[in-house]
């Protein structure tokens, strides 16, 4: 088996996953309602859950809810979740999917909602950025303002395998430069090899994990 074969990764990943009716329902309901299959992959969701527990996060801000799959992960890991989603259809399905959990899904565009949360003096233990590519730096900047000292910002999808346009590459590079010079944080890149049902071979991706300094 090639080291980079999808099977080699999937089998191992599968062995670590446990049945979770709430997550399975969220995926089935989201697909039935026509939402795109772009929630975090099961193993990444598992990672978010473990991270939440390890840092003892009690409050999580999420940018980009989709159908609430990752929101469920954070909530089941013990956090109160505030999630921002601009698409009314996604918002509606997410509200159905997170029923019974401590998740507030705010309908609105992140760049309008985040300044309001900051104005209210809200602070979160962990901020998860998983929305669109065009505003990564703006989201990151607001996320840092909205994170308590020693909390963390998780900026997902920073190595875009699916959209290799020059513009996106340039944008991605400039976000790294800005984060690298940002004295409010210390940050690292966690590169990933991921398999996805929509992609025939494993691809590189990654996320930035930043700790907000005290």
Which stretches of the chain bind ligand SAM, using CB under 6 A?
A: 38-40, 64-66, 69-70, 84-87, 90, 109-110, 130-132
Beta carbon of residue 4, minimum distance to ligand SAM (angstroms, whole number): 24
Nearest partner of 157 among 139, 123, 131, judged by Cα: 131
Q: Which one, 8 or 145, has the nearer CB to ligand SAM?
A: 145
3-state SS assignment for residue 104 = strand
Q: Which one, 67 or 151, has the nearer CB to ligand SAM?
A: 67
Q: Which one, 128 or 151, has the nearer CB to ligand SAM?
A: 128
Beta carbon of residue 181, minimum distance to ligand SAM (angstroms, whole number): 24
Q: Which one, 131 or 179, has the nearer CB to ligand SAM?
A: 131
Beta carbon of residue 117, minimum distance to ligand SAM (angstroms, whole number): 13
Helix (H) or strand (E) holding 166, with range, is helix 166-180
How far CA 211 is from CA of 49, 59, 122, in Å, comes to: 17, 15, 18
Quick check: 174 and 142 in contact, CB under 8 A? no
Q: How far apart are CA 161 and CA 138, in angstroms?
A: 21
Beta carbon of residue 170, minimum distance to ligand SAM (angstroms, whole number): 20
Q: How far apart are CA 114 and CA 143, in angstroms?
A: 8
Q: Which one, 34 or 180, has the nearer CB to ligand SAM?
A: 34
Q: How far apart are CA 168 and CA 65, in angstroms?
A: 22
Beta carbon of residue 186, minimum distance to ligand SAM (angstroms, whole number): 24
Interior CA angle at 137 toward 164 and 151, to 5°?
Answer: 120
């Amino acid at each position: 088996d090639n080291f980079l074969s999808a099977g080699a990764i999937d089998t191992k990943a599968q062995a670590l996953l446990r049945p979770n009716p709430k997550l399975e329902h969220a995926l089935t309901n989201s697909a039935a309602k026509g939402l795109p299959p772009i929630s975090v992959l099961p193993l990444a969701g598992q990672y978010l859950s473990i991270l939440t527990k390890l840092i003892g996060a009690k409050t999580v801000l999420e940018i980009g809810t989709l159908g609430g799959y990752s929101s469920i992960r954070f909530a089941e890991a013990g956090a109160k979740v505030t999630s921002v989603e601009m698409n009314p259809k996604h918002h509606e399905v997410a509200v159905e999917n997170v029923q019974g959990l401590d998740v507030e899904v705010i309908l609105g565009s992140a760049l309008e909602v985040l300044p309001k949360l900051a104005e209210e003096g809200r602070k979160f233990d962990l901020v998860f950025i998983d929305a669109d590519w065009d505003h990564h730096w703006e989201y990151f900047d607001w996320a840092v303002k909205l994170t308590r000292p020693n909390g963390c910002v998780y900026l997902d999808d920073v190595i875009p395998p699916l959209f290799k346009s020059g513009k996106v590459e340039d944008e991605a590079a400039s976000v790294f430069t800005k984060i690298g010079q940002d004295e409010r944080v210390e940050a690292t890149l966690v590169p990933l090899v991921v398999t996805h049902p929509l992609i025939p071979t494993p691809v590189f991706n990654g996320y930035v994990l930043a700790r907000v300094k005290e």
